[in-house]
Structure 1
Amino acid sequence: MTAVGDAEGWRIRPFEMSDYDAVYALWLAGAPGIEIRPSDGREEVARRCQRDRELFLVAEGDGAIIGVVMGGWDGRRGWIHHLAVAPDFRGLGLGRSLVAAIEERLCEVGCLKVNLLVRRENRAARQLYEHLGYREAPTLVAMGKELRAGQDRR
């Protein structure tokens, strides 16, 4: 994927490991509702990048990382993970641009449906996703299990 420019002054491009510290800081400081897990550590993110580099995007603006989105593709369904936009850039369309970019990449790999999880209390994220055509799946229950106990692997 080549970088995507935007009239608003940001550029969307694939994540590089040199972006990790800025992305991690954005997840911690600028993303209400993102739960940092051991799988978000540097080593695990490096492995993910080897597998799905084109599905992990950052937005640059003002010389800094101002947005991020991770996508996933298991061969059947696509996933959107960890959409985050720096507070000073919220409400400008960057979140929409990042979602559109990851949806485009998922389509390129043959994905027909994309899913995401969002905390019920995260109204801003829910409104964004609903505006983009996502709908709550009332018959589904989100379940999870940690397979590997671990501490922050940053």
Structure 2
Amino acid sequence: MAELQISDITDEDVTAVITLWQRSGLLRPWNDPEKDIAFARSADGATILVGRYDGAVAATAMVGHDGHRGGVYYVSADPDFRGKGFGRTIMQAAEDWLRDRGVWKLNLIVRGSNQQVRGFYEALGYRTTDNVQLERWLDGRAPVETH
């Protein structure tokens, strides 16, 4: 398995991170990645972990907590390096980041139709629960279908 060098995002990483998210198919029209990055970086209980391989951004995970549970978003691995374990490595780094802060539970949100990603998380030991996620946009936007 290739080794990733994991660290927090830097100003110099932002463009490469957004490019990786685009290439990985993570971006949605209703989410502004620059705004999401800036918001995560400004929060006390959040960061964006970047995995570098040969000096280039090859994996990411936005990770944070609310003082009770952790959440991970924007998990990505460079499509050119699939099969090298980068997804597994960046998720382990996200779990370690939470564990180091005393967080004992991690919740994930995965689109129900995304069977490949669900399989990835299940292989890491995550399980589907019978909880229902509710949402409401607080910035005045109309509801968006996110399935």
- What's the TM-score once normalised by structure 1's chain length? 0.80
1:41 is paired with a residue whose SS is helix
Task: From 40, 58, 66, give the equivalent of 1:66.
Answer: 58
Per the alignment, residue 49 of structure 1 pairs with 41
Contact residue 15 and residue 57 of structure 1 kept, 8 A:
yes
**Cα-Cα RMSD:** 2.1
The runs of at least 4 consecutive aligned structure 1 residues that moved more than 4 Å come to none
Distance 1:18 1:73 in 2: 25
Gaps of at least 5 residues in structure 1 are 1-6
**Structure 1 pair 20–53 and aligned structure 2 pair: CA distance change class (3 A):** farther
Distance 1:36 1:11 in 2: 30
Task: From 122, 144, 147, give the equivalent of 2:135.
Answer: 144
Distance 1:52 1:97 in 2: 24
Per the alignment, residue 16 of structure 2 pairs with 22
Q: Number of residue pairs matched?
A: 141
Q: CA deviation at 1:55?
A: 3.3
Contact residue 37 and residue 48 of structure 2 kept, 8 A:
no
**Structure 1 pair 88–53 and aligned structure 2 pair: CA distance change class (3 A):** farther
Gaps of at least 5 residues in structure 2 are 142-147
Distance 1:22 1:63 in 2: 11
**Structure 1 pair 61–100 and aligned structure 2 pair: CA distance change class (3 A):** same
